[in-house]
Amino acid sequence: MTALPTRQLGPFTVSAIGLGCMNLSHAYLPRPDAADAERLLLHALNAGVTFLDTAALYGFGANEELLGRTVMQRRAAFTLASKCVLGGSDGKRGIDGSPAAITRTLEESLRRLNTEHIDLYYMHRLDRNVPIEESVGALARAVEAGKIGAIGLSEMSAATLRRAHAAHPIAAMQSEYSPWTRNPEIAVLDACAELGVGFVAFSPVGRGLLAGRVDAKGVPEGDLRADMPRFQGDNLERNLAMAARLRAIAEAAGCSMAQLCMAWGLSRRDFIVPIPGTTRIEHLDELLATFARPVPPDALAAVDVLFPPNAAAGPRYANAAQAQVDTELWDNEPLD
């Protein structure tokens, strides 16, 4: 197995780039077949990735089942993260942060993952109808029972993080973070630094657009991104123009667009662990090759100039999805 640089994520030492497993079963199109998904997971472990991130929501359990049958024989080689609260049935999403739902979802996840212990277990979203302290209390009892190792939060604000951390230590916060989504810089990253909480950055290459994987045709019908305003109409055209400028910066720096985004994210704080998702081994190798050659500081500075906070055209979520997140917004940030 190859050794990658590591970072500290709460109590865990993990590869400085992890793998978000969602794309293998959920949300983006096209999806790989089972054999290709299994090959990618095993390749990630062989390439030195030691942090795998899944969720009960992804594929409505199918993603956890994929990991359960593919990598659990190598359980000691990686830190396993999954999520509760945001789930669904009959193909529809729903939020339930009640202690009973969290306990039930955890038992279902353990069964699907074919394990007795999940290292890092997140609240996928905030249930505004349940005090955060009650939800965290259920997770704290799971820690005491040895079913999970540490508690995480996802897409939540600094204020919610502080309340949760007061109830039980929080190991990690996961939120979208990339050059075109810099909302964690409003307050969450500072709160994480103050409290000793790790930060997991999902969609670090702008859901593929900032890696050159999206063109003027957009994304296929049925792809989750098709409902996101940044991938629609004039917003898509403007964002692709910014991506073209990002490509020029990357070419001048001697790296790919994806590598430039990864280097930018890794440079922001030493407790940030990006978890890009991909369905292709060659794309994963490209991302991990970020470590092979340092990106010049002037290229990272140029990314800052190109993507000041709130620079992307369009909201990152449509209204229904935005209502499910608790993250801070920039002044004058557009809403759908």
User: Which residues form the catalytic set?
Assistant: 58
> Residue 31 gets which letter from DSSP?
P
> How far is the C-alpha of 136 from the C-alpha of 147, rounded, in Å?
14
Q: How many CA atoms within 13 Å lie on the side-chain side of 255?
A: 27
* Backbone angle region of 18, left / alpha / beta, with phi > 0 → left and psi within -120 to 50 → alpha: beta
Please name the helix (run of DSSP H) or strand (run of DSSP E) that holds residue 287, with its range, or none: helix 281-288
Q: Which of 214, 279, 223 is nearest to 247 (CA)?
A: 214
What amino acid occupies position 200?
V
Question: Which residue in the block uniquely carries the two structure tokens 């302290």?
Answer: 133
Alpha helices (runs of H) in 17-98, residue ranges in sequence order: 34-46, 62-70
| Length of the chain in terms of residues written | 336
> How far is the C-alpha of 117 from the C-alpha of 222, rounded, in Å?
34
Pairing of strands 118-123, 12-15: unpaired
Which residues lie closer than 8 Å to 62 by C-beta, 6 or more apart? 25, 26
